């Protein structure tokens, strides 16, 4: 670190490394070095290291936790990586206003803006601001439609708004077995079940049949899917018999 002259990118990497392995002594040592740095622009970053050291020393020490959070709330927003850490820590501690301010401060500078929007969506949901939560999730999804995390969070918000078909469309599950995260599969399946129920209530049994088949491709042992598919086919059987009779009548007529 001495040879790097406190390069901020390297400093951020070192900060991440120390936090990952809970090296509280190294975090404290770097905080001391930054506090005594000749460059005044570096001194504010001491608070990040000091706060992280306090949080990694004893997770059950409420006094140290509060001291760390106070330090993080007062940190500058100049570096996106450091600010992102501060925002996450504040959000986890339910200091939502402080976290929101920091997320917004780096929305245009953080390397993964969709992740900021995802976190803001979760923050707004926690605060009961459902419309803002949905808007933030949609913005994240529109930004990175090929990424599963924004799609998952947006689908969650749509499901919470009872927009089940939209949630299913966002997740775009193929008609084959998938190797997705369990919570993603569970969300899609729950939404698809609602979609199936809506199709059956509307007496759109052919559509419901296809939806049941899709559900059972993804979740072959799902009892709901099996039960609804059987019921749908019971409704469809008389119609299929009528269609078959009609085709036979047409064939007879042509033969005559």
**Domain stop point among 83, 98, 113:** 98
The residue segments making up the domain with residue 224 are 173-256
**The model's pTM:** 0.87
Residue 71 lies in a domain: yes
**Domain stop point among 64, 98, 132:** 98
Q: Is 146 helix (H, G, I), strand (E, B) or coil?
A: coil
CA-to-CA distance for 129 and 117, rounded, in angstroms?
14
User: Would you list the DSSP string of 61-126?
Assistant: -HHHHHHHHHHHHTS-SSSHHHHHHHHHHHHHTT-HHHHHHHHHHTTTTSS-HHHHHHHHHHHHHH
Residue 80 lies in a domain: yes
Residue 109 lies in a domain: no
Residue 103 lies in a domain: no
162-190: pLDDT as tens digits:
999 999 999 999 999 889 999 999 999 99
Residues of the chain above pLDDT 90, percent: 82
Q: Are residues 91 and 177 in the same domain?
A: no
Average pLDDT, the chain: 91
Residue 130 lies in a domain: no
**Domain stop point among 75, 98, 121:** 98
């Amino acid at each position: 670190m001495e040879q790097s002259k406190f390069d901020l990118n390297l400093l951020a990497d070192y900060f991440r490394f120390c936090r990952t392995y809970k090296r509280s002594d190294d975090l404290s040592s770097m905080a001391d070095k930054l506090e005594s740095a000749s460059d005044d622009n570096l001194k504010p970053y001491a608070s990040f290291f000091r706060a992280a050291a306090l949080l990694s020393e004893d997770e059950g020490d409420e006094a140290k936790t509060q001291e760390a959070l106070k330090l993080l709330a007062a940190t500058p927003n100049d570096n996106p990586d450091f600010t992102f850490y501060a925002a996450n820590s504040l959000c986890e501690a339910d200091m939502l206003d402080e976290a929101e301010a920091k997320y917004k401060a780096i929305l245009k500078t953080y390397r993964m803006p969709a992740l900021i929007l995802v976190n803001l969506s979760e923050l707004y949901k926690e605060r009961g601001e459902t419309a803002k939560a949905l808007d933030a999730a949609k913005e994240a999804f529109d930004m990175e439609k090929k990424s599963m995390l924004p799609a998952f969070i947006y689908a969650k918000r749509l499901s919470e708004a009872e927009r089940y078909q939209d949630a299913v469309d966002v997740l775009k599950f193929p008609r084959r077995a998938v190797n997705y995260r369990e919570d993603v599969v569970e969300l899609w399946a729950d939404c698809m079940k609602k979609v199936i129920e809506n199709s059956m209530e509307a007496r759109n049994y052919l559509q419901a049949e296809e939806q049941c088949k899709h559900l059972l491709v993804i979740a072959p042992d799902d009892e709901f899917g099996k039960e609804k598919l059987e019921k749908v086919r019971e409704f469809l059987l008389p119609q299929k018999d009528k269609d078959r009779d009609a085709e036979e009548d047409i064939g007879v007529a042509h033969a005559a």
